[in-house]
Amino acid sequence: MQTLAPAQTAAHQLPQIAHPRNAGMPLDLDWVAAVQANTSAIERRTATLPGRRSVKKDHQAAWLCKAISLIDLTTLSGDDTWGRVERLCAKARQPVRPDLLAALGMEGLTTGAVCVYHEMVETAVRALEGSGIPVAAVSTGFPAGLSPLRTRLMEITDSVAAGAQEIDIVISRRHVLTGDWQALYDETRAMRAACGEAHMKAILATGELGTLRNVARASLVCMMAGADFIKTSTGKEGVNATLPVSLVMIRAIRDYEARTGFKVGYKPAGGISKAKDALVYLALMKDELGHPWLQPDLFRFGASSLLGDIERQLEHHVTGRYSAANRHAMG
């Protein structure tokens, strides 16, 4: 099996995981070619999800607190400033008002991570020092992924050196659209090696891959190349996370674990802004993959506004009143 070269590791402690890290495997083109996706069946299955799993009152509050612990709280705007990132990190440390958390018995709750551009990594690392919250950096020519490979690899190395414990890379969509699975595998494998001990989330940009079969094949190839997570979207595409895409990727994860024994994480990103949507995704994960994939080492939401709506729902649960959305700003 091809081995991964070591790279400079972050000076900050990496999140602990309860399972062996995905080491990847040689590219199996026969397996990739055999992958199918029954679009009509997938759409029928996911159309039933919102009505099949309903939780209320204390149970709903507990699931929403779980969702908070799985959020990669994100700011990826061209007008990001150091002050905005510092405020976002303060929100990650204290995602819900202390009095509400006390009423829920959830003191100490934090988000799963904070996700920023490379330029803001050092600021986020300083702001989160001592919290145990990892910093994730988007890299490799985010969001298009069209810069030269050597430049993309240098971005990864620089972000890891700055303290990023997780790297969200973007794949080259053209390799999927042209069926060049060897090129996709080789690039993703090189990026995984550049990450070293930092965990790598491979962003597929599923809204630009054309078909659900392409989504399934790209998911499989990225896992073969050693991705620790597969992620739907950059959040910048016209279509981001959807339930059909999620089902396809989740079942690819299940098949990969059955064949290799390695657990790979999943991150839906983009377009998940309501608490009720988060509950549907959690139900899907529990139905398809089970309890281990309801932990931060195997599941994350890529979101910003989602946290505000969850906090608003929790306040209603505790007080019986809905507050204005502008009272739950991210920073």
Q: Smallest Cα–Cα separation from 181: which of 141, 225, 211, 149?
A: 225
User: How distant, in Å, are the alpha carbons of 15, 107, 179, 293 from that of 235?
Assistant: 24, 31, 24, 22
Question: Cα–Cα distance between 251 and 257 in angstroms, integer?
Answer: 10
Task: Let me know how long the chain is.
Answer: 331
**Active-site residue identified among 201, 231, 297, 309:** 231
Q: Smallest Cα–Cα separation from 97: which of 313, 278, 320?
A: 313
**Active-site residue identified among 66, 91, 263, 267:** 267
66 in active site: no
201 in active site: no
**Active-site residue identified among 66, 91, 168, 277:** 168
231 in active site: yes
Q: Are 213 and 277 in contact (CB under 8 A)?
A: no
Question: Can you give the three-state secondary structure of the chain, one letter per residue?
Answer: CCCCCCCCCCCCCCCCCCCCCCCCCCCCHHHHHHCCCCHHHHHHHHHCHHHHCCCCHHHHHHHHHHHHHCEEEECCCCCCCHHHHHHHHHHHHCCCCHHHHHHHCCCCCCCCEEEEEHHHHHHHHHHCCCCCCCEEEECCCCCCCCCCHHHHHHHHHHHHHCCCCEEEEECCHHHHHCCCHHHHHHHHHHHHHHHCCCEEEEECCHHHCCCHHHHHHHHHHHHHCCCCEEECCCCCCCCCCCHHHHHHHHHHHHHHHHHHCCCCEEECECCCCCHHHHHHHHHHHHHHCCHHHHCCCCECEEECHHHHHHHHHHHHHHHCCCCCHHHCCCC
Hey, what are 237's tokens?
A: 């595409």
Mind telling me the catalytic residues? 168, 231, 267
